[in-house]
A and B are shown apart, each in its own frame.
Chain A
Amino acid sequence: MNKRQIKLMQGNEACVEGALAAGIKFYAGYPITPSTEIAELCAEKLPQVGGKFIQMEDEIAGIAATIGGSLTGLKSMTATSGPGFSLKQENIGYAALAEIPCVIVNVQRAGPSTGLPTAPSQGDIMQAKWGTHGDHPVIALSPTSVRETYDLTIKAFNFSEKYRTPVILLLDEIIGHMREKVEIPNSDEIEIIDRLKPSVEDADEYMAYKPKKGELVPPMAAFGEGFNFHVTGLMHDDFGFPTNDANISDQLLRRIMKKIDNNVNDITMYEEEFMEDAEFLVLAYGGTYRSARSAVKKARLLGYKVGLFKALTIWPFPEKRIREISNKIKKILVPEMNLGQYVLEVERVVKNESEVHHLGKVNGEAITPEEILSKIREVL
């Protein structure tokens, strides 16, 4: 086996390295702090692997061109932050309904509006789920370290290809700009998933939106391969043609939701620590998880029976596992850099099984281990 390469890198850089490992060949975007390094690195590295980079005129054009790139068969990504994520919303919904795989990175910064452009935040958790109008499938992942950023970027591409859907990668300024030593896995250690394609012989009968029997994800042809199919953001039939038919519309929306709902076990990633005898739980994600872990370790030394839950998949919410845990956990604390977003989901799922507490911070500073520890002492 080859020796693994070890590199000191930034979260944003790990995102680009992960994307390259996953097979990215197209990037379109518009610069914005604190995501800009992702665009800069793609501009430099993509042509070196025969890929394409373009700086578009705004974020709307960035995701539009990204979807266009994907339609020609290339793995495509765009990256942005705060205001730019707001601008991308309409076309995220387009990619969801038209079932075009792509990855959208949002390096969260403090908002609303221009807010604190260089400060970290986890304020876009609900926007990632509900930002575009209408019901729609969502996969959102959030790493807690530079290495995880590498891994989850690959996962994001894999999920987008496997389920023919846009995937949102939620970094925060802490993770995006932090430098850590990363041991880069060899290519034979990485699982890469490519979209399912129809065979060329089937071109005449190709139905771009009809999955094979018993399946949920239709094989996807690329433009220019002879399939001459139609793609629209209107509700459409199996051929991709617009329809007003109530049944067809209902079935289509339910199918694209089911792609995620029926595969939560595959998509949901989380880690648990200190759980054997735990009576209390701290649930954290992204940059805040790092402080949470340090706080939980200190609390353990002080004799508190605290467990730790790391959510790597933000959406779909790890509902089943949290419900199980709530049966034996008395209190759950959710620290996050917002005024109460993910905690709402925890409350919804645990109902009254456990008492749920929140520690929120929105002044542009990271939540410290001390703050979490003192909250643990206060509520537990």
Chain B
Amino acid sequence: MNTGSQLIKNNFRVEKLPHIWCPGCGHGILMRAVTEAIENLNLDKKKVCIVSGIGCSSRAPGYMDFNTLHTTHGRALAFATGIKLAKPELKVIVITGDGDCTAIGGNHLIHAARRNIDITTIVFNNNIYGMTGGQYSPTTPKNEFGTTAPFGNIDKAFDVCKLADGAGATYVARGTAYHVKQLIKLVEKGINNKGFSLIDAISICPTYYGRKNKKGLAVDMMNYLKDNAVDVKAVKKFQKEILEDKFVIGEFKNTTEPEYTDEYNKILEKVKHLHK
């Protein structure tokens, strides 16, 4: 097992720390969990590629000592698809925000899932646009507030997991910044899945989401995650009414289907005789 400092020394660009995130932000916990999953799997660091879009969450790869790419807003999965297809031996991991992944990047998300390309996507989901100062996102719950929803949000929120499942992802799970041990396992299983994996990692943004919606301090928001998450395995035990205000965590889908780069390799085999 690794002590904390060893994990950091082995996997982070220590000279780039401290990070830019606000005190109490959940993103740092999630970043560490992703790194710990990579470490636990003993992946070859030279072959790990971490891609992100734009947002507070998308700043994570800059601190992580792998092949790292910080792209344009929403496009992480499109860049990652190019990398994975061009060099399938790389383990490609995408770190993205709820806005980055499901608003501007929603099209890329559903198509990466549909292709079942071997990319593991971890959505740092804080239910708000943090980087731009607290506007509502596609995962902001109905009736909550953002700087662009001063009278309450009338949009219905996405369930990121159902979205990914419906689009064809073969591994789908949800974890939180509070349930770190579980999250690490979910990320590990996502990386091990040969296909498109999505882990909806619930984060906290005390600075904007918390303040706009009177959720208290970071500690209160963490307690909220602790008290309101129901494990998918325990769901059956509860009555519907009790579950209404809760959210479900755990593994939702773990299946095997043909993977995109494998399928492309078959084409390469098929036309081999035509090689000049």
Contact B264 A52 (CB under 8 A): yes
Per the 8 Å Cβ criterion, residues 89-144 of B in contact with A are 89-90, 107-108, 111
Q: Is A223 an interface residue (CB 8 A)?
A: yes
* CB closest residue in chain B, given A64: B78
Is B199 part of the contact surface with A, judged by Cβ < 8 Å? no
- Within 8 Å by CB of B62, from A25, A224, A242, lies A242
Q: Is the CB of A48 within 8 A of B274?
A: yes
Q: Tell me the bound Cα distance from A232 to B50 in angstroms.
A: 12
In the bound complex, do residue A26 and residue B86 qualify as a contact, i.e. CB atoms below 8 Å apart? yes
Please tell me the number of chain B residues within 8 Å of chain A, measured between CB atoms.
42
Q: Which of A51-88 contact B (CB under 8 A)?
A: 52, 54, 56-58, 60-61, 64-69, 71-74, 76
Task: Give the residue among B45, B71, B90, B276 with the most A Cβ atoms within 10 A.
Answer: B71
- B87 proximal to A (CB < 8 A): yes
Q: Is the beta-carbon distance between A90 and B86 smaller than 8 angstroms?
A: no
Task: Bits for A86-110, please: 1 = Cβ < 8 Å to B, else 0.
Answer: 0000110010000000000000000
- Is A116 positioned at the interface, with any CB of B under 8 Å from its CB? no
Option from B49, B70, B82, B83 in Cβ contact (under 8 Å) with A234: B70
Q: Is B233 an interface residue (CB 8 A)?
A: no
Select A54's contact among B69, B85, B87, beta carbons within 8 Å.
B85
What's the dominant secondary structure at chain B's contact region? helix
The answer to whether A241 and B16 touch across the interface, beta carbons within 8 angstroms, is: yes
From A58, A65, A231, A242, contact of B82 by CB (8 A): A65
Query: CB distance B62 to A91 under 8 Å?
Result: no
* CB interface residues, A 250-294, toward B, < 8 Å: none
Name the distance in Å between A241's Cβ and chain B's nearest Cβ.
Answer: 6
B87, A67: Cβ atoms closer than 8 Å: no
Asked whether A67 lies within 8 Å of B67 as measured between CB atoms, the reply is: no
Q: Which A residues are CB-close (under 8 A) to B68?
A: 228-231
A91 touches B72 (CB 8 A): yes
Q: Does A303 have its Cβ within 8 Å of any Cβ on chain B?
A: no
Q: How far is the CB of B261 from chain A (nearest CB, A)?
A: 9
Q: Is B75 in contact with chain A by the CB < 8 A criterion? A: yes
A-B contact pairs, 26 of them (CB 8 A): A26-B85, A28-B82, A48-B271, A52-B85, A52-B86, A61-B78, A61-B108, A61-B111, A64-B78, A66-B82, A68-B81, A68-B83, A68-B84, A73-B87, A76-B82, A90-B72, A91-B72, A94-B72, A223-B67, A224-B46, A224-B49, A224-B89, A228-B67, A231-B68, A233-B71, A242-B62
Instruction: Report A's interface with B, CB cutoff 8 A.
Output: 25-26, 28, 47-50, 52, 54, 56-58, 60-61, 64-69, 71-74, 76, 90-91, 94, 222-234, 241-242
7 closest cross-chain pairs (CB), A and B: A68-B82, A65-B82, A64-B78, A61-B78, A72-B87, A232-B70, A223-B67
Chain B residues with a Cβ under 8 A of chain A: 13, 16, 45-47, 49, 51, 59, 61-62, 65-72, 75, 78-87, 89-90, 107-108, 111, 264, 267-268, 270-271, 274-276
